[in-house]
Structure formats: C-alpha cells, structure tokens
Amino acid sequence: MLPPNLSYAQFRNALRELASIVGESNVISSDNELNDYADPFGPGPQSGPRAQRFSASAAILPASVDHIREILRVARRYHLPLWPVSTGRNFAYGGAAPRLSGSIVVDLKRMNRVLEVDETLAYALVEPGVTYFDLYQHLREHGIKLWIDPPAAGWGSVVGNTLERGFGYTPYGDHAAMQCGMEVVLASGDVVRTGMGGIEIGKSWQLYKPGFGPSYDAMFMQSNFGIVTKLGIALMPRPQAYRLAHLRFREEADLAAIIDTLRPLKLDETIRNHAVVEGAVRFAAGVSSRAQWYEGEGAMPESAIAAMVKRLDIGRWNLRFGLYGAEEIVDAQFAITKRAFSGVKGMRIEAVRYAGGEVPEGGADRNMAGVPAMSAFRMLDWRGGAGAHVDFSPICPFTGSDAMRQYSVAKARMAEYGFDYYGGFTAGTRHLHHIVAMIFDRGNPQQTEAAYDLLRVLISDARAAGYGEYRTHLAYMDLAAAQYDFNDGALLRFSEAIKDALDPDGVLAPGKSGIWPRVWRSRRGYT
Amino acid sequence: MLPPNLSYAQFRNALRELASIVGESNVISSDNELNDYADPFGPGPQSGPRAQRFSASAAILPASVDHIREILRVARRYHLPLWPVSTGRNFAYGGAAPRLSGSIVVDLKRMNRVLEVDETLAYALVEPGVTYFDLYQHLREHGIKLWIDPPAAGWGSVVGNTLERGFGYTPYGDHAAMQCGMEVVLASGDVVRTGMGGIEIGKSWQLYKPGFGPSYDAMFMQSNFGIVTKLGIALMPRPQAYRLAHLRFREEADLAAIIDTLRPLKLDETIRNHAVVEGAVRFAAGVSSRAQWYEGEGAMPESAIAAMVKRLDIGRWNLRFGLYGAEEIVDAQFAITKRAFSGVKGMRIEAVRYAGGEVPEGGADRNMAGVPAMSAFRMLDWRGGAGAHVDFSPICPFTGSDAMRQYSVAKARMAEYGFDYYGGFTAGTRHLHHIVAMIFDRGNPQQTEAAYDLLRVLISDARAAGYGEYRTHLAYMDLAAAQYDFNDGALLRFSEAIKDALDPDGVLAPGKSGIWPRVWRSRRGYT
C-alpha cells in the first residue's frame, strides 16, 4: 500500500526522511505491524469491487510537538496524507484506520504526559497518549480527590475521546463540553493555543474556554483542521456521597413514558449525570450470551426476548442514573425521582448509596462512579465468533415520541437484516444519544456485509425522518456529512473553505467527517 | 464622515443602491440620526490628535436575510466596511459604534421575530432584534412556563448579548453556553446553519449544538466572520421554588474567604446560578449617590466607605445567589450554604424563598428570577453629571488569592486616577468574571480622558500578572487581542487566516476583537 499519487521510490524517500525525525523504530511500514492500524471491526465486503479498505501505508510515532512540525514539513513537500490519532481506540467507528487509504497514521501515543492536575480548580491538562486508565491511576497515586469521567471502554485516550465527542456517565459526561483549552499544531506547522492559552504566562487556560474573540476549540473536534497536542479537561470533585439507581420497566411501549418522565428531571438538574435507558438485549449482553436464549435464524423473536427478560429478571427497558452530592441532597433527589417514575406501571427500582470514596462493583456502575472499566467489551461475545460491531448513532430529541419512533424504525429495519435491536439512549439535557450497535462475527462474511448495508439504510431512514448522526464510521462519513444539506450543503462548503485556507496541501486527515481538502476532493464518496 | 477610501460621489452611489434594497427610510445618513449609532459612553479625548472617534458614515436597517445578502453584494463591490449590530446596546464597550470609522452600521433591529418557543424542550429561536424584554413578554403573553436569563440591562438583544458572551444571574447565566444553533450570513452572501441546522427538515437544531463534524457556533461570537440572523437559546423551566440569598460581609479582606468558600459550592453545583460578589460602592450605587458620602478630591477614602457601609447597613462585600428547584432541595442547599459561609466571621445572611411563579421586588433580585430590569443603569447617577462608564473585564481564576490580587491592584490603580473601585465578581464554575466599571461624567473632559487612560493601564497591569480580558471597548480591542501573544500571536494569525478566507473583500466588521481583514490590516492600532 502506497500513499496515493506517490511512486514506491518517492515513498521510500519520504519514509527515510520521517525516520530521521523520530528514529527508525518509530516508523512502521511492515504489513504485519500495520495490522494494528487497521479497523478491527471493519464492516462490509473484504474483497471484490465493493471491498472496504481503509489501509494505512505507514504509521509514525512522534514524541513531541517539534516532531510533529517536522513531520508536517515532510508531508507538505511530498503531498503525503496524514491521519492523526491520539491512540486510535475509536472502535466501531474505524479504530486507528484512515479515511483515505494510503494515508500515514500519526500515532500520538508516545506523547502521554499528564502535564498538570489542579485539585483546587479541578482540572487536568493532558497529552493525547494519556488514557482514561492512566489519568485515573495518576489521580489515585497522588491522592487527588477528583473523579474522571470514563467512556464505556476505559482504554481510550482522553484527548481522542473528547475530540470525537465521546461521552461518559457522571455529571461530567459531556466530554466536549467539559473540555477547556487546547494546543493545536496546524498543517502549516504553526502552533496555536486556544482561549486563554494565548496568554503565555496565563493562569486561566483551563478555566475559561472562550478567551477573547472567536473561540475555536469546538472546530477542532471531529475535524481535520489541526493536530491537538494538549487538551484541558474539567474533573469533578469527589462528591460527599452518590447514589446509583437501577430501574426496570416491563413493557416495550414503556419507552415513551420513561423518556418523558426523565426529561423534566434532567432539565431541572435533579438528575445531573448521563442517565442511560438500555434495551433488554444490550443489558443482557453484559451478563449472558445470545446462544443461551436463541439459536434460530434472524433476529431474536419477541418470545425469546420475553423469556430472557424473565429469566434474567431484567427490564424490557432498564434505566440507570446516579445522584451526586451531599447525603441529604442525594436522598431528597432520590425521593423525587422515585416518585416520578412510580407513574410508570410495573416499574421496579433499586438504588445503593455510596460514600464518595467508595467504588462499586460492576462495570456500568463503576463508570457512573468515575472508574474506568472494560466490561463494555463483553458485548463482543454476544453473537459468538470474532465479535465486532459498528454503531448507528443518531441524535434524538428528548421526547418519548421521538425515542419510540427511532426505536421502532431501527428495530424493524434491523430485523430485516437479521440483527437484534441492541441499543439504548444516553440522556443529554435536550437530546438523547441513541446508540445502536450492529454486532457481527467478522469471520462470517454474510454478517459482516449485512452490518455494512444495514448501517447505510439506518442512516438513510433517520435522515428521511429529520434525524442526523452525531458520529459515524469511516465508510459513511461522506454520507453523514451529505445529509447536512441545508442551502445546498452550505455547512460542508464552509468547512471546506476553512480547510483549504488552513491546509492548502491537504495533508491533514483528508475525508475526516466528510471534509476533503481541494487536492483530494475528487475522492469524496469513494472508499 | 465617509467610508475610508471612498469619494463622496461613490458613497452617494452606494447609498442609493442600498436604499433601493431596504427603502429610503431604512438608510440613515444624517448626522443627527447617526447620533444613535455613536458610542453613548465614549471615553477618551473628544478632540485633538488623540481623539477617540468611532463614527459611522451611515446605518442601514435590513428586514430580512435577503436584504442582508443584497447589502453584502453592494458592500463587496464598493469595498464598504459594514458593522453589524443586533440592536447596538453594547454599552460600556462601544454601543452600536463601529471599530473602523466610516463603516456603515447594519442595524438588525427590524428583524425581531420570536420564531419558535418549545415549552417541552425548553428553548427559543429568535432573530437579532428580539430584546430580553420582548422575549419575556412573549413568554408571559403565551402563558409559557419558561424563564429567560436577562443580563443586567434587559433592553439589549438576546442575540447580541449572547454573541458578545454576556451573562446573567440564573443557572442559565452563561449565555454563550446556553446558545444552541445559529443561522449565519457569510460575507460571500452564503447562508449557513450550524450544528443540526444543516438538516433542512431537522428536529434537533436547538437541541444538540455540535452536530456532525467541526462545530462553529463559538467562532461566530465576538467575531467578524458572519452576520448571525437566527439564534437558538435554552430556556429554564420555571422551578417549583427558588430562594434568593443576600450575604453581607464586614471586612475588605473577607474577599478571599468568600471566594474560597463559594468555589466548592459552585463546583459541586450546590449553587448553580451566577452568584455575584459586589464591592460596597457598587452595591451602594443601586440605592444612593456618591455625593451623599463624599465630595472631596480623588477616590473615596476608606473612612467614607466605612461610614457609607455602616449607614446603609450593607456589606464591605455583598454576595447574592439563588437556589432553584424543589422546595426540599432548595432548603437543604440553603442549609449547606449557610453553614459554609458561617465560617466567615461577621457574615450576616438573609434569604427569601419564593414559589416559582412569584416575582421579587428589586432589579438585582428580579434578574436572579429571570425577570428583565433596567435598574443597573442607576449606576450612571453615582457620580453625577452625564453619567457614563467603561468596563475593565478580566477573567479571574476562582481562588481567593487571585481575586484579592486583582482587586488590590485595580483599586490602587483606580485611586491613582481618582476613581473609586466600583466592581464585583460574577461566579462561573472555575473562573470569575471580574467586572470593574470606571464611572465618569461625560461632560467633564478630565474624567472622560482619565477613564480612557486608566482602562489601558488596568488592562496592561492585568496582562503583566497573567490575566486577560474577556471583552473590551472598541478603543482597546487591538490591545486586548495583542495580549494573547503565545507563539508570536499565533491565535490572532489564525483568526486572520480564517478572516481572509471567508471575507477576502474585508467588508464585515474590520477590527472587531482585533481581527483585521487583509485590506484593512494597516489600520490595526489606529483609532
């Protein structure tokens, strides 16, 4: 695999120059080692004309901002497309793999310093290689009474997850919103610090995001406008106490009432964390495997789901949320929430109150207590074989009718393709992240292709109903971006005007989020 | 006054073309009428070589996005600098006046529709001409149980205040953070909708800000990259109850303890609103005038302040905050806050609990209850004469030591120039907005010039200590921007690269926030 438009000799020369920057051992170009940079869950045909390949030609591991600037100099000269990743754990959306095959992955995992933690003002400043486990460990080792907010899988990069607008399960679950201050290397090699970071001896870089004048942090998210090398993130002071609640609901149709009950509690901040409403299958996948419940063809029938729900004593829908603060506040909030949800017939509620320093058992509960875990990966065993998944991730207005509509359409369409509805809703304030996973066995070509086709259909169904994706797999970035087509695609036109101004050589992540620099624009829509 | 580089004949032709778009009566060019677009509080010399003039050559009042697009077409052809304002109530920072003299003010006040209010999902979509009073009235008339969050002066535009990153006093006080979704007309005339607004039939424009890919809303704030014609803003559901607390503190040195006590209560969200810590003079200006307390030369001496504090029975520092929610929560939170502040010797606390539908007396309290008021303007009478003020507005880290440092330096410097320390701290989560007003009599040239000189010195003092402005007067936009000088001014370089890409003719608000388009860049630093 070569970078597009480069001869083998040119590529070899480019790699030699890159190696002179970071050292031979930090340039990876053997097929074997490059496997680490392939999409581990790649859906779609693996061969033939429709084959989905998002393959790197090489990977390079800089250790510093200066390394990155020198890499960019070489890239601009050779017109090398680069694909920066923090640590590349963007599983289900492409992992570390580049959108444009032949790109060189710039893997920032060696830049892994926790640069600062301020316990008083409750923030951290980290480099891209710092994982949630690393940051958690750092706080524990130094006896710092701050919580992190881990996403479902704790092995990912804090910077990477935040830039992709990932989310977690404590009151600091909106990672992009909790971000404050960045250092960014532009395609030109220029280094910008956003917000108050413009003041060199400043004291407020991680305290007040906007700074003076236009604010740019949000335009470096899900974007290809720069390489983020430092990022500030707010951390939650350890609460005096917290209470984790688990509610089980009986009927499929309860979803609407659950959402409509939850909304006012989120709006008035009785519940401040990212409450999660999970379907039965997703809940069951944490504690069992599919074969225990159903081995027939196609999606699990209602009868099998009903039997599973009964046997596991789980809900048809399951709501988890946490309350955090002084004991008396947490108790009063719990009473309010319990009263509210008692309106849904058949609801059962369990809740445990912990002291702030206690750590609960069980991955999902640990996540709600700011403890990173990897238990989310149990889902990969649900269907057996080489478990993989891709995710359909539309934004859903926070109403019961919208949630029911998205759920019903997705479930029916998934059944058509032989997939169980495996999903749930994560509660923002006015929106829900509806996350639907298509689990498949990568060893099974039929399932792998079906997941790919199904994902496209789900995205199209959603768009027809007025819903859009917040994030998507490499294979559908162009499709998702094209759906934002107000005024003949003015938003994408705007993005590409900025892209061309900042990166005239088109070296940074061509195709990311559907944004193509002028020199690679003809690749739009091709994989 | 002509636009720079235009002959009188060219200007007359341009005005004729503009009038053909919006009608004669919506083009203003007489000196008399243009007074409305001058800075009402302009500091600095009014004549001579150092004279501060930020004068419009004309003003134009479009009624629609199409009007704006046609105005831009004319502006690009004639190289006319435009200065868009929502309604121009940016008092203390320049009002409606343009940074570059001779610019044509584009006054959007005729575009004043409340386009949508969703009571369930708690937001509004408004045009730039909608004031806080208008929106409040709209909600009342329609019996909608949502609160607005007014800034100190309720007559301003919701869009304008939000774009300037103004703030209010309820839990929705961070206006920029509560903003969700924009429609923007670019200099090219292209119309962009941000975030989920890219989906033409979409349902989430005001529900989830980022959308898919890079997010741009924040870069249209305090900026000159586009004209915002629609803006979404979250509204707070009317709480069941709220309690407004007023705390008085005895000693000047209590400031550090007040701030350090307040910080953990803000961080753990016991207090969710923008609590305000006001100095004695600012508090006194709401209920008295300066001449009652002091008529000598220079700043009020400590003895006069002490006498005033005693007589008015106010605090040397005064803290106001609100608690919002269910009665039992509000009461529990009040007990916690009272306990916390009892650690500050001599503290006195008063608090009143209201039902959600009740409206308190008194402007500051009304603001905390989501009711717009104009009582903040009483400050103009503090010193007598033609009252005016300019504001020094640094960001302060949320620590007692930083607050004391900013306060002490400002107070001493203000005394040098004969000004009382008239200020306070508005509490974000990890930062404070330290707002210091220099009140002067515009009829008094000495005071008017002193305010101008003092403001520059305060900004410079702050920078030397590592603090930066969040917002500033026209006269000091270049100075404030230059203070963000990390990597030789990379942030401004970045802003201007984007500016040149989006507005190659330099027609939109040249000089705003220190950002100059290429064609006007030589004007930097000149007024």
Exposure letters A239-273 (e unless 16+ CB within 10 A, then b): bbbbbbbbbbbeebebbbbbbbbbbebbbbbbbbb
DSSP run (H or E) holding B182: strand B179-185
Given B250, B470, B521, B524, the catalytic residue? B470
Q: Which of A193, A199, A205 to mutate to test the interface with B (most CBs of B within 10 A)?
A: A199
- Mark yes or no for CB contact A481/B212 under 8 Å: yes
- Distance, first Cα to last Cα, chain B: 14
Q: Which residues of A touch B201 (CB under 8 A)?
A: 466
Q: What is the pLDDT of residue B316?
A: 98
The A residues from 69 to 108 touching B (CB cutoff 8 Å) are none
Supply the pLDDT for residue A46: 83
A515 contacts B213? CB cut-off 8 A: yes
Tell whether the model's pLDDT for residue A52 goes beyond 80. Answer: no
Q: Is A470 a catalytic residue?
A: yes
**What is the interface size between A and B, counted as CB pairs within 8 Å?**
315
pLDDT band (50, 70, 90) for residue A77? very high
Q: Does B264 touch chain A (CB under 8 A)?
A: yes
Residue A430 near residue A397 (C-beta atoms within 8 A): yes
Burial profile A401-429: b = 16 or more Cβ within 10 angstroms, e = fewer = ebbbbbbebbbebbeebebbbbbbbbbbb
Distance of CA B23 to the CA centre of its chain: 32
Chain B touched by A328 (CB under 8 Å): yes
Q: Say how far apart CA B184 and CA B202 lie, in whole Å.
A: 17
Contacts of B222 in chain A (CB under 8 A): 210, 212-214
Look at residue B372 in the predicted model and tell me its pLDDT: 96
Lowest-pLDDT range of A38-47, A66-75, A97-106, B167-176: A38-47
Calculate how close chain B gets to A475, using CA atoms only, in Å: 15
Query: Any idea how long chain B is?
Result: 527
Residues ≥6 apart with Cβ < 8 Å to B329:
A270, A329, A332, A333, A336, B323
Per cent of chain B over pLDDT 90 is: 94
How far apart are alpha carbons A472 and A489 in whole angstroms? 18
Catalytic residue status for B290: no
- State whether B269 and A269 contact (CB < 8 Å): yes
Beta strands in B119-178 (DSSP E): 123-126, 146-147
What would the pLDDT profile of B77-114 be if each residue is shown by its tens digit? 999 999 999 999 999 999 999 999 999 999 999 999 99
The stretch A103-116 carries a mean pLDDT of: 98
CA–CA min distance B517, chain A (Å):
14
| Structure confidence at residue A350 (pLDDT) | 96
| pLDDT given for residue B377 in this prediction | 87
> Which of A120, A204, A393, A434 is best to mutate for the B interface (most B CBs within 10 A)?
A204
Query: Is A527 a residue whose pLDDT tops 80?
Result: no
**Which DSSP string corresponds to B33-97?**
HHGGGS-TT--S-SSSTT------SEEE---SHHHHHHHHHHHHHHT--EEEESS---TTTTTT-
* Per-residue pLDDT reduced to its tens digit, B408-444: 999 999 999 999 999 999 999 999 999 999 999 999 9
A210 touches chain B (CB under 8 A): yes
Is A145 part of the contact surface with chain B (CB cutoff 8 Å)? no
Alpha carbon B451 to its chain centroid, in Å, reads 19
pLDDT of residue B13: 98
Helix H or strand E encompassing A230: strand A227-234
pLDDT higher than 80, residue A148: yes
Asked if the Cβ–Cβ distance from B430 to A212 is below 8 Å, we say no
Contact A443, A400 (CB under 8 A): no
Pairwise CA distance, residues A353 & A356, whole Å: 9
pLDDT band at A48 (very low <50, low <70, confident <90, very high): confident
| First-to-last C-alpha distance (Å) of chain A | 14
**pLDDT at res. B363:** 77
Cross-chain CB nearest to A468 (options B204, B430, B486) = B204
What pLDDT does B49 receive?
A: 81
CB atoms within 10 A of CB A76: 18
Least confident of A82-96, A130-144, B353-367: B353-367
pLDDT tens digits, one per residue of A218-240:
999 999 999 999 999 999 999 99
pLDDT at A363 over 80: no
**Entry pTM:** 0.97
Contact B430 A332 (CB under 8 A): no
Name the closest residue on chain A to residue B212, using Cα atoms.
A470
**Taking 80 as the threshold, does the pLDDT of residue B259 lie above it?**
yes
Question: Beta-carbon neighbour count of residue A165 at 10 Å?
Answer: 23
* Amino acid present at A371: V
Q: Sorting pLDDT into bands at 50, 70 and 90, what band is A344?
A: very high
Q: Which chain B residues are within 8 Å of A336, Cβ to Cβ?
A: 326, 329
Q: How far apart are CA B300 and CA A8, in angstroms?
A: 79
**Cβ–Cβ of A180/B484 closer than 8 Å?**
no
Helix, strand, coil percent values for chain B (each to nearest 5)? 40, 20, 40
* Segment B152-179 mean pLDDT: 97
Tokens of A29: 């170009």
Q: Say which DSSP state B239 is in.
A: P
Mark yes or no for CB contact B121/A397 under 8 Å. yes
A488 touches chain B (CB under 8 A): no
A421 is known as an active-site residue: no
Q: Is the dihedral of CA A484, A166, A382, A258 positive or negative?
A: negative
* Residue A28, min C-alpha distance to chain B (Å): 29
B207 with A395: Cβ contact below 8 A: yes
CB pair distance less than 8 Å for A325 and B500: no
Residue A451's pLDDT is: 96
What lies within 8 Å, CB to CB, of B465 at 6+ separation is B405, B406, B409
Residues 332-371 of A with CB under 8 A from B: 332-333, 335-336
Query: What part of B 458-477 touches A (C-beta under 8 Å)?
Result: 463, 466-472
Separation between Cα atoms, residue A160 and residue A109, nearest integer Å: 10
A126 in Cβ contact with A113 (< 8 Å): yes
Examine the predicted complex and report whether its ipTM is higher than 0.90. Answer: yes
- Asked whether the beta carbons of residue B468 and residue A180 sit closer than 8 angstroms, the reply is no
Residues A317 and A280 sit within 8 Å (Cβ to Cβ)? yes
The verdict on a CB contact (< 8 Å) between B430 and A207 is yes
- Span A14-36, mean pLDDT? 97
Give chain B positions within 8 Å (CB) of A332. Answer: 326, 328-329, 332
The one catalytic residue among A136, A354, A470, A484: A470
Q: What confidence score (pLDDT) does residue B526 get?
A: 86
Does A527 or B438 have the greater pLDDT score? Answer: B438
A482–B contact, CB cutoff 8 A: no
Residue B362 banded pLDDT, cuts 50, 70, 90: confident
Q: Which of B93, B172, B242, B422 is catalytic?
A: B93
Pairwise CA distance, residues A174 & A398, whole Å: 16
Q: Cβ of B265 under 8 Å from any chain A Cβ?
A: no
CB atoms within 10 A of CB B504: 14
Residue B193 pLDDT > 90: yes
A397 to B332: CB separation less than 8 angstroms, yes or no: no
Residue A485 has pLDDT above 90, yes or no: yes
The pLDDT of residue B50 is 81
Is the confidence at residue B318, as pLDDT, over 90? yes
What is residue B46's predicted lDDT score, i.e. its pLDDT?
83
Q: Which residue of A has its CA nearest to B433?
A: A208
Is residue B52 over pLDDT 80? Answer: no
Residue A305's CB is within 10 A of a number of other CB atoms, namely: 21
Q: Is A194 on the interface with B (CB under 8 A)?
A: yes
Give residue-wise pLDDT tens across range A165-214: 999 999 999 999 999 999 999 999 999 999 999 998 888 999 999 999 99
The closest of A482, A461, A525 to B200, measured between CA atoms, is: A482
Distance, in Å, from the CA atom of B258 to the CA atom of B247, rounded to the nearest integer, reads 10
Q: Among candidates B128, B94, B140, which has minimal Cα distance to B527? A: B94
How far apart (Å, rounded) are the C-alpha atoms in residues B97 and B311?
41
Q: What percent of chain A stands above pLDDT 90?
A: 94
pLDDT category of residue B47 using cuts at 50, 70 and 90: confident
Which residue in A198, A208, A480 is closest to B431 by CB distance?
A: A208
Work out the mean pLDDT of chain B and round it to a whole number: 96
Are residues A128 and A228 in contact, defined by beta-carbon separation less than 8 angstroms? yes
Chain B CB within 8 Å of residue A221 CB: yes
When the pLDDT of each residue in chain A is averaged and rounded to a whole number, the result is 96
